[in-house]
Structure 1
Amino acid sequence: MKEYFDSNTSKLAGLEQVNNYFWNIPMHHLDLDLFKYQIEFTMELLKKKKSLNKVNKRIADIPRHWQLKVFKKGIQLSRLTANEYRDMMKIMVFVVDDLQIEDLSEVYVKWNEMYLLSRSEKFKESDLENFQKAINNWGDLFIKLFQKISNSHLKFPKLHSWIYHIVDTIREYGAINGYTTETYESLHKTYVKILYRLSNKKEVEKQIIENVNKKQ
């Protein structure tokens, strides 16, 4: 994917033919809210630039793939699930390419570079330095593009924490996946909330355990 982007030949690549590396990465939840902000602000920017219909058409035209959610009606933010936001991560770098909006495709390239580094299970000091550089590169573009669009001018805690504190937190506590509460919240949803709703509300614990055993 990066080779096509760097050589400015992305028009020659179809999502159906190209093996997209990001499609095979299991995404964690820590920074999903930040990506949610990025998508929302991108939609607002596209509205201002009168490019939203073009982007929605591009999304709807993406061919079916068994590892990818197909958004035939374009982006409908109010209906996106967590898994669908992860699918959006995989395609947006292509969807916003060549829209004549400065730095928009680049902010998604920088996001993906940063996200890949965040997936590491172990970090050497040199890895953390590279990770901080990737965070700063993404953060600078994110702020440049979206500060005026945000009602709070991007003054929200998760962005501040991610840019200024996540690397120090990794130094103290270890890799991200080892301590984030979002992981356990996801497991709680998958193995408790959803299964509770599927039960008949009688002997709930027994039904949940039986359903979990069926999943394994």
Structure 2
Amino acid sequence: MRVLLAESDTATASLLRQKMKRHGYDVDTVETGADILEMFMQYDLLLLDLDLSDIDGVEVCRAVRRASEMPIIALTERSTELVRVLCLLEGCDDCLAKPYGFRELLARIEAVMRRVHSRPASVQRISRGPLSIDTETREVRLSGELVSMTRKEFDLLRVLASQPGTVLSRERLMAEVWERTSPSDLSGRQGSRTIDTHVNAVRGKLGNNGWIVTVRGVGFRFGGH
């Protein structure tokens, strides 16, 4: 997933970019609102520092939202209720007060992207190269040949293929595929074994491990072949 990080503090931006890249995100950084407005259409998510040097972040959010439905998470030291309300009214999907923990930021990104991808869509067929996934008939075909899959194998492949390039954590896959949301359900060896077993089964049926890529310590992403 491509992320545009707009942060006025270059040291903070550099450190955050390095951390996010280690978690599988493709991150570019900018320092000004003008740069955001020139570049944002190329990205899947905007992390927006409201305290930019040239344009107020709320104004930037308003301009981006007029042109795009891309997810926006505001980052601000102005953690008053009024600022948070303005951000949400102008189209931000979330607002995070500085200083914030990196784990909290990752959790909020996942929550926002989950809401975005759960919006109703008319697309019934996902095509990725020779792979075709029909979400209505629940059929998977590879180079035109039908690939038999169990219900959970199909759901796992569908979730990953619908978000190509996005790293999905084990917790998120358990929530979306197995509909388990309590802390005891989302952690532990049993949950990891369940996911690994199904990932390996899907890889075997597709004939190549490259369709689902393991991001060590984070989760999985759809990689294509």
TM-score, normalisation: structure 2: 0.29
TM-score, normalisation: structure 1: 0.30
Which structure has the highest helix share of the two?
1
Which structure has the highest strand share of the two?
2
